[in-house]
């Protein structure tokens, strides 16, 4: 059993981005990422801080817009509009979910598709469907990069994704399909979940429930990817997979923390670099 080291792979990706950023800066373009955080959700604050830290590491300019939970939809959309028009901002990221009363989808649609480094805009989502895209969604693309780094071949494999969110589950299925996986997406209405997951060569858990995937749900020798970020009964950070009991059945497994999370951020850096290039025809 191999524990996939997301920190290590993400460090390699960020090194590559940093080196390409140096070249871009030499040509007069410093990639700029705007990070919008509305409200005071502690988890979102941690994610945003990590994204800013990564920007610093690779040599981007990052600008944080921390808005109170009382921000109105109009105020938020006005900020997005201003950022859409700023030449020095190449990527715009609004940390989701937004506090109650604000509409995630309205903000996603307001961000210029050219600056949509999360790849959440319907124009970018559509382009991913047909395989003609500039940006890939950060978490699924980070997972694919991790599989590649460990030479895990998807072609012809039974791939099972648990979770059908627009951010992870649905695009994850699509990226696995692009690499010729046979993909099943499971969700809360799925019948006989255990029978389906127990046939997975590659199992991606993106449910949002602590230790939901237990050993009896996993096939011997499976690759298990854990997208979860939860707190267990003792308040300790844990994934959607019961790591301690599942790990010995796996050929590969990602830990939480130190698995998928750092890869999400590494992909965000890649997307922002690409956005800066595209916007400057470089």
Binding flag, residue 139, ligand GUN (CB under 6 A): yes
Least distance CB 167 / ligand GUN (angstroms): 5
Query: According to DSSP H, which parts of 131-192 are helical?
Result: 138-149, 169-178
- Binding ligand GUN (rule: CB under 6 A), the pick from 62, 71, 90, 95 is 95
Q: CA angle, 4 as apex, 246 and 194 as ends, to 5°?
A: 30
Query: Which of 14, 52, 95, 226 is an active site residue?
Result: 95
Q: What distance in Å separates the CA atoms of residue 84 and residue 67, rounded to the nearest whole number?
A: 18
Query: Does residue 279 carry a catalytic annotation?
Result: no
Between β-strands 250-253 and 222-226, what pairing exists: parallel, antiparallel or unpaired? parallel
Query: Does residue 118 carry a catalytic annotation?
Result: yes
Binding flag, residue 138, ligand GUN (CB under 6 A): yes
Least distance CB 73 / ligand GUN (angstroms): 17
Query: Does residue 51 carry a catalytic annotation?
Result: yes
- Binding ligand GUN (rule: CB under 6 A), the pick from 10, 21, 124, 264 is 264
Binding flag, residue 118, ligand GUN (CB under 6 A): yes
Question: What is the Rg, in whole angstroms, of the alpha carbon atoms belonging to the chain?
Answer: 19
Burial 131-163 (b: 16+ CB within 10 A, else e): eebbbbbbbbbbbbbbbebeebebeebbbbbbb
Which of 67, 65, 40 is CA-nearest to residue 51?
65
Least distance CB 38 / ligand GUN (angstroms): 11
Binding flag, residue 204, ligand GUN (CB under 6 A): no
Q: Which residues have a catalytic role annotated?
A: 51, 95, 118
Question: Where on the chain is the footprint of ligand GUN (CB under 6 A)?
Answer: 93-96, 118, 138-139, 167, 264
């Amino acid at each position: 059993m191999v524990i996939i080291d997301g920190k290590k792979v993400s460090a390699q990706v960020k090194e590559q981005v940093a080196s390409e950023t140096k070249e871009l800066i030499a040509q007069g373009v410093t990639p700029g990422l705007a990070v919008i955080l509305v409200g005071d959700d502690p988890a979102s604050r941690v994610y945003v801080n990590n994204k800013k830290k990564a920007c610093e590491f690779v040599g981007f300019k990052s600008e944080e817009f921390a808005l109170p939970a009382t921000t109105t939809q109009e105020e938020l959309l006005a900020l997005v509009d201003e950022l859409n028009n700023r030449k020095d901002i190449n990527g715009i990221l609004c940390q989701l979910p937004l506090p109650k009363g604000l509409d995630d989808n309205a903000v996603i649609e307001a961000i210029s598709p050219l600056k949509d480094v999360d790849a959440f805009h319907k124009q970018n989502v559509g382009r991913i469907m047909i395989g003609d895209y500039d940006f890939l969604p950060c978490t699924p693309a980070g997972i694919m990069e991790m599989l590649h780094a460990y030479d895990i071949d998807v072609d012809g494999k039974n791939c099972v994704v648990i979770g059908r969110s627009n951010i992870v589950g649905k695009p994850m299925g699509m990226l696995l399909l692009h690499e010729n996986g046979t993909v099943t997406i499971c969700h809360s209405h799925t019948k006989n979940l255990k029978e389906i997951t127990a046939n997975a060569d590659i199992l991606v858990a993106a449910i949002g429930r602590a230790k939901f995937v237990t050993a009896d749900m996993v096939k011997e020798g499976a690759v298990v990817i854990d997208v979860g970020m939860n707190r267990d009964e003792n308040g300790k950070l844990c994934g959607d997979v019961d790591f301690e009991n599942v790990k010995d059945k796996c050929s590969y497994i990602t830990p939480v923390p130190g698995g998928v999370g750092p890869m999400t951020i590494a992909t965000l850096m890649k997307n922002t670099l690409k956005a800066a290039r595209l916007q400057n025809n470089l």
